[in-house]
Chains A and B, each alone.
Chain A
Amino acid sequence: MLSIHARQVLAKAVLPILILLAVGLVLLGLVRRPAVDGVRLMATDFMAPAYHGLVWPQERVKVWLTDLRGATDLAKENARLRDENRALRHWYDVAVALAAENGRLKKSLHWIPETVPQYVTGRVTRDDGGPYSRAVLLDVGSGHDVRIGDVALDAAGLLGRVTEVGPHTVRVLMINDDASRIPVTLGSSHGDAIMAGDDTASPRLIFYPQDHHPVEGERVETRGQSTMPAGLPVGTVHYSAPNRPVVVPDADLDRLDIVRVFDYGDDDSQAPDAPGRVRVKKLPQNPLTGPLPFSWLPNLPDMPGRGGQ
């Protein structure tokens, strides 16, 4: 047994030791952040079923409330849906005609079909942002093949990119996070820009050409780069203040439920070797001294490099 004095000394030393350990954790977080995030991801993996159980009552209540709201004004809702259905029917016909025309044009141009990306669909396990970041955790089940850098989309548009991968869970850094930088192309002005998150609902557009400012309301799509394919819908341009273009995202960043993670693979389109790298065969010093073997042809020089008269 320890003496009373030793116990008093030990009791006084506990808090400083624990504070030192906490400082160590802070330093570890600054130096080796992925190690700490890996532990957090494992904990979330473990808790994923419990999260579903916790959220289930809330989801049921939401469904009931939606049903209740619909039931109170059925006639008006029906009329609205009929109008919307008519408009959608028109757009469906247009889409079918355009798809057929697109198919014909591609066929006549001998278009090489693009590879179909692999994807997994997952439910958002938890909002993982904290005060200073915007990220979500997805439960994608075991045996997935998601890699860091894969692209996450919801039903409407681009959501973000995968930053950490666990056995069942992946972490997606959303496009409005402060660390997110996505190369984008503007729809009508065809200018390139970088979409930079700033922890608000609408990421900013930066590094756009100064002679082609983004136009209010134009579409913003991804620009093909590395694992990010071209043409994914991102949102529309909006000027929140003069000279401050932002992107209003198509994806509903606040209420995420089902998210798909696409693996577009590495960018394996490598440029051919530059001409300078082609090994040039050295010609002999005096390749041809005598008359050319085809000098019987009219108006040909009899020696190379001398040119015709």
Chain B
Amino acid sequence: MVAENSTPHLHSAVEPKQTFRRALDMAARAAMPSLFIVFSAILLSAPFGIPGQAQLQFGIAMCTVWFWAYSRPRSMPALAVFLCGLVVEIFSFGPPGTVLLSLLVIYGVAHHWRYGLSRLGFIAGWLIFSVFAALASFFQWALVCLHAVALLSPAPGLFQAALTIGIYPSLTALFVWGRRTFANPDQA
């Protein structure tokens, strides 16, 4: 069973009356993952001086898109991924387009394999995500090298990949809880 139909008891014959307030509430809940990416991108672009702030921006966007693309694609359509990617691009200063392209590719993979990923265990899903996070970081590093016409140290890219892979479990725990509660449009 696909995760997006995980609350069958709410799809009863008696539906709550569709009011404007309910429609707004549903839209807000459905937009929660995208809003999470946008707010974290803006927040992490502020000069807090936290080590790895830029890498965290990338990591949070990747984890969020991956989770919601296979878990509840209705809350994360392709256009939303594109717009979120653009916001992350604007509030970061890496090579332009790399984060956006990585997000769209990881969205495509997760969305295409969503049935298989829902059946797989957490560890297997995490491993597959790790491969794509590492590939995205490598792609970013390759583009920076191409732009600088020099072989730069791959250490920042490795750190970014490790941070993205490392924060995935804790973010998944948050998202699983959110999918049942505050980010669940069926509970509006």
Residues of A within 8 A of B (CB): 14-15, 18-19, 21-30, 33, 36-37, 39-40, 43-44, 47, 50-51, 54-55, 58, 124-133, 135-136, 178-179, 198-199, 254-255
Contacts and interface: CB of A to CB of B under 8 A. Distances in A.
Interface in B118-156: 140-141, 143-144, 146-148, 150, 152-153, 156
B85 interface: yes
Given A18-B78, A130-B93, 5 more contacts: A40-B90, A43-B91, A127-B47, A132-B156, A178-B150
A56 to B, nearest CB: 10
Interface stretch (B15-23, B26-34, B97-105, B175-183): B97-105
Counting chain B CB atoms within 10 Å of each CB, which of A29, A125, A130, A199 scores highest? A130
Nearest to B146: A30
A132 B144 contact: yes
A131 B90 contact: no
B78 A29 contact: no
B43 interface: yes
A22 B81 CA distance: 11
A135 B93 contact: yes
B43 A54 contact: yes
Contacts of B43: 54
A123 to B, nearest CB: 9
Nearest to B111: A15
Given A15-B78, A131-B157, A199-B156, A22 B85 contact: yes
Interface of B: 42-43, 45-49, 53-55, 78-79, 81-82, 85, 89-98, 100-101, 104-105, 107-108, 111, 140-141, 143-144, 146-148, 150, 152-153, 156-157, 159-160
25 contacts: A15-B78, A15-B107, A18-B79, A22-B104, A24-B97, A26-B101, A29-B147, A39-B90, A40-B90, A40-B91, A44-B45, A50-B42, A54-B48, A124-B47, A125-B47, A127-B47, A130-B54, A130-B93, A132-B95, A132-B144, A178-B148, A178-B150, A179-B148, A199-B152, A199-B156
Contacts, number: 119
Pairs of residues from A and B, 5 with the lowest C-beta to C-beta distance, nearest first: A29-B96, A25-B97, A26-B97, A131-B156, A22-B101
